[in-house]
Amino acid sequence: MKEELNTFFGIFSGTKDAIEKFMNMLDPVIQNAKDDHERLYYHHIYEEEEQRLSRLGSLIPLISKFQKETDDRAFSPANNEFNKLLQELNLEKFGLHNFVEHLDLALFSFTDEERSTLLKELRAVTYQDYQQVKTYLQEINDMFDTDYTDPHAHHDEHHDHLAPQNFQTQTIQTPRRKGFTVGSLL
Amino acid sequence: MKEELNTFFGIFSGTKDAIEKFMNMLDPVIQNAKDDHERLYYHHIYEEEEQRLSRLGSLIPLISKFQKETDDRAFSPANNEFNKLLQELNLEKFGLHNFVEHLDLALFSFTDEERSTLLKELRAVTYQDYQQVKTYLQEINDMFDTDYTDPHAHHDEHHDHLAPQNFQTQTIQTPRRKGFTVGSLL
């Protein structure tokens, strides 16, 4: 479980920086929007990412706390804080998914080289992060074999459109994250 | 507290129906989208509302449970389930806020009388619901005077643009916090 927590910590710390880069890109677009529709559109996406950033402000310290936890019994559905961790991770799995789509939407409009290069980089990393978090959460939930059920599980079935091969401008390969082994969950 | 719970139950049961009406409106638009950009745009909004619908599937029974609760001691930050209730309510406060904006965005595009009439109805109800939930949550958090802090409290300051009278003629304020750091949210 420690290894998964280390990966989660890296992913969610990294995505915090990515959100800020994206918000900085949106800021002048909102300022200079050509009409109310365009302004609301970018402002809305900005706000959703701002909400996510704010939630990460409580998730990341919670991950840290479990990284330092030495009592194995804490990693149990009997521990409310562990349940909270799993719930928040599940929510932020969807946060990553939605971020991929915000980036994809931006790629349709920000076609200049500077912005599209950055967007593609953020998109590639975020897509990998989403897949990694999804895989780990599935394994963790299976392992604990608890009453905990992913309220969004049905949702993922519809997400093939997120696959990189379906995305027209997906060309960037990012280095794989630090190696991890699946199976050492406890 | 019972009165607030009854109101929450009514609001979140009602918004479930509203989501379904909105999704039914989006469905043919996605099917008949003129290009990938339009398809992704509506599909993305559809998915975010679908995620919210799924979360409401666990929130509403939790509200019901507290509606039936006869032990006053359950309504305490010492009770983990009560904390969970407050956290989920807070998240769905933002769900309502984002729904208002999804409806506003749709109003820019779906200008025919049938759809715009329904959208305006849903928008008016959802805006009221959002304000009601925000007020109640503020009161509840003040009342319990707990460590519980709303991670999104800063966010509401920017939401004057949601006021109905400001819609269409509003000038959205761009967030002032240029280059703000996440640390300032903690």
ipTM for the predicted complex = 0.82
Q: Which among B80, B151, B170 has the least Cβ separation from residue A55?
A: B151
pTM assigned to the model: 0.82
Q: What pLDDT sits at residue B168?
A: 40
User: Is a pLDDT exceeding 50 seen at residue B178?
Assistant: no
User: Is a pLDDT exceeding 60 seen at residue B111?
Assistant: yes
Q: Is B64 or B153 the better-scoring residue by pLDDT? A: B64
CB contact under 8 A, B104 and A40: yes
Q: In chain B, where are the structural domains located?
A: 2-153
Tokens matching residue A124: 């590639």
- Which of A47, A111, A152 best probes binding to B when mutated, by most B CB atoms within 10 angstroms? A47
Q: What pLDDT sits at residue B163?
A: 55
Contact between A119 and A181 under an 8 Å Cβ cutoff? The reply is no
Cβ-in-10-Å burial (0-12, 13-18, 19+) of B126 comes to: buried
pLDDT band at residue B150 using 50, 70 and 90 as cut-offs:
low
Contact between B129 and B14 under an 8 Å Cβ cutoff? The reply is yes
- CATH T-level topology, domain B2-153: Butyryl-CoA Dehydrogenase, subunit A; domain 3 (1.20.140)
Contact between A42 and A26 under an 8 Å Cβ cutoff? The reply is yes
User: Is a pLDDT exceeding 50 seen at residue B8?
Assistant: yes
Q: What pLDDT sits at residue B173?
A: 43
- CATH T-level topology, domain A2-166: Butyryl-CoA Dehydrogenase, subunit A; domain 3 (1.20.140)
User: Is a pLDDT exceeding 80 seen at residue B83?
Assistant: yes
A111 contact partners, CB below 8 Å, separation of at least 6: none
Give the residue-averaged pLDDT of B91-117. Answer: 98
Q: What pLDDT sits at residue B77?
A: 86
User: Is a pLDDT exceeding 90 seen at residue B166?
Assistant: no
A184 contact partners, CB below 8 Å, separation of at least 6: A1, A3
Question: How many angstroms separate the CA of residue B54 from the nearest CA in chain A?
Answer: 6
Q: What pLDDT sits at residue B1?
A: 84
Q: What pLDDT sits at residue A143?
A: 84
All residues of chain A having their beta carbon less than 8 Å from the beta carbon of residue B161 are 43
Give the residue-averaged pLDDT of B84-113. Answer: 97
pLDDT tens column, A125-179: 999 999 999 999 999 988 876 555 554 455 454 454 565 544 443 333 333 333 3
Give the residue-averaged pLDDT of B21-40. Answer: 97
Low-confidence ranges of chain A (pLDDT < 70): 145-186
CB contact under 8 A, A54 and B98: no
Q: A106-115: string of b/e by CB count within 10 Å (b at 16+)?
A: bbbebeeeee
Q: What pLDDT sits at residue B119?
A: 98
Q: What pLDDT sits at residue B144?
A: 78
All residues of chain A having their beta carbon less than 8 Å from the beta carbon of residue B37 are 105, 108
CB contact under 8 A, B182 and A108: no
Identify the CA nearest to A143 among candidates A186, A114, A83, A79: A186
pLDDT band at residue B142 using 50, 70 and 90 as cut-offs:
confident
Q: What pLDDT sits at residue A142?
A: 86
